[in-house]
């Protein structure tokens, strides 16, 4: 039987990039899989936001690890775990990645910033990058851990170091054994990313997270012939925040709950997502 890592590897087709949706809990992951996404992005940003703390290496590894395990248990799409900087140096990576493999993840994404990290899209954030050789060691440690795709994320564009440095780092990370390279940008247009993608020599597929430049369509990305995975990086938590705010506001403004009923999920829908039917079958078979 193919592993989740093998299944995800087969989906990284630059002619038809796989699509991953972010999730911050098993319910969000189940909804993403139900919608038809190819993979689940186990977002550190979303999980931090769900705890109402900054995305700055504040939550412990165990919190993220157990969420990845729980996400993988309720749906079949491969899980791409956002492990930020790998929780420390190469030694930390060597201990962390086997635990993510045991939790059932298909891929880990690790970025070349210093620990503790700062959110890439935070205005005025600290975007300090490791020396290339040090990050290559972290990639090699992750690769040695077992059956998992290792995606190396370079923050060179985020840090303002330019395309040439981003290409140099991406090439070095592919040489160190990365299965794919995630290139990130905070520019409001896709020009910077498009230029990088066109210059990329194509040793391994690229991964994009088009949060800042949403006008770039999936079809336009596929036309580049370089990108194997597109990650919708934070849309689950943003959709949840928007919907909850609107619902809560309306309940208070209208003095009751009747007005929001048509726009929210039914209790029966939530029961179904919880697996209520399967539990009833267990009750029927085994309760005495």
Question: Token pair for residue 181?
Answer: 């390279």
Catalytic residue among 6, 15, 38, 55: 55
Bridging pattern class, strands 180-183 and 107-111: unpaired
**185 with 192: CB under 8 angstroms?**
yes
Instruction: Confirm whether 55 is a catalytic residue.
Output: yes
Q: What span, in angstroms and rounded, lies between the C-alpha atoms of 232 and 208?
A: 9
Q: What span, in angstroms and rounded, lies between the C-alpha atoms of 85 and 109?
A: 9
Q: Which residues contact 9 (CB under 8 A, 6 or more apart)?
A: 149, 179
Ranges of H-type helices in the chain: 4-11, 26-35, 44-50, 61-74, 90-102, 132-143, 163-175, 191-199, 218-224, 235-254, 267-273, 276-286
Query: Collapsing DSSP states into helix, strand and coil, what is residue 268?
Result: helix
Identify the CA nearest to 152 among candidates 82, 216, 89: 82
Identify the CA nearest to 213 among candidates 234, 239, 192, 182: 192
Instruction: Go through 156-168 and write b for each residue having 16 or more CB atoms within 10 A of its CB, e for each that does not.
Output: bbbbebebebbbe
Bridging pattern class, strands 79-82 and 39-42: parallel
Q: What span, in angstroms and rounded, lies between the C-alpha atoms of 184 and 175?
A: 19
Q: What span, in angstroms and rounded, lies between the C-alpha atoms of 162 and 58?
A: 29
The set of catalytic residues is 55
């Amino acid at each position: 039987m193919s592993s989740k890592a093998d299944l995800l590897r087969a989906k990284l087709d630059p002619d038809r990039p796989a699509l991953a949706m972010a999730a911050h809990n098993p319910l969000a992951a189940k909804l993403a899989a139900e919608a038809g996404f190819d993979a689940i992005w186990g977002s550190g940003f979303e999980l931090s936001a769900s705890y109402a703390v900054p995305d700055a290496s504040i939550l412990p590894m165990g919190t993220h690890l157990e969420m990845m395990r729980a996400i993988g248990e309720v749906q079949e799409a491969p899980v791409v775990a956002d492990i930020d900087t790998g929780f420390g140096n190469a030694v930390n990576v060597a201990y962390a990645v086997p635990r993510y493999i045991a939790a059932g993840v298909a891929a880990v994404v690790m970025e070349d910033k210093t620990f503790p990290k700062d959110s890439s899209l935070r205005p005025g954030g600290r975007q300090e990058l490791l020396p290339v050789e040090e990050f290559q060691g972290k990639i090699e440690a992750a690769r040695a851990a077992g059956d998992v795709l290792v995606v190396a994320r370079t923050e060179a564009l985020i840090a303002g170091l330019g395309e040439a440095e981003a290409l140099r780092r991406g090439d070095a990370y592919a040489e160190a054994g990365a299965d794919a390279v995630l290139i990130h940008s905070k520019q409001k247009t896709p020009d910077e990313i498009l230029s990088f993608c066109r210059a990329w020599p194509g040793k391994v597929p690229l991964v994009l997270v088009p949060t800042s430049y949403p006008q770039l369509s999936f079809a336009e990305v596929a036309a580049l012939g370089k990108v194997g995975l597109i990650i919708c990086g934070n849309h689950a938590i943003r959709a949840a925040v928007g919907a909850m705010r609107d619902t809560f506001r309306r309940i208070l403004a209208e003095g009751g709950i009747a007005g929001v009923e048509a726009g929210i999920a039914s209790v029966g829908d939530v029961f179904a997502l919880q697996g209520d039917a399967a539990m009833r079958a267990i009750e029927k078979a085994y309760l005495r």
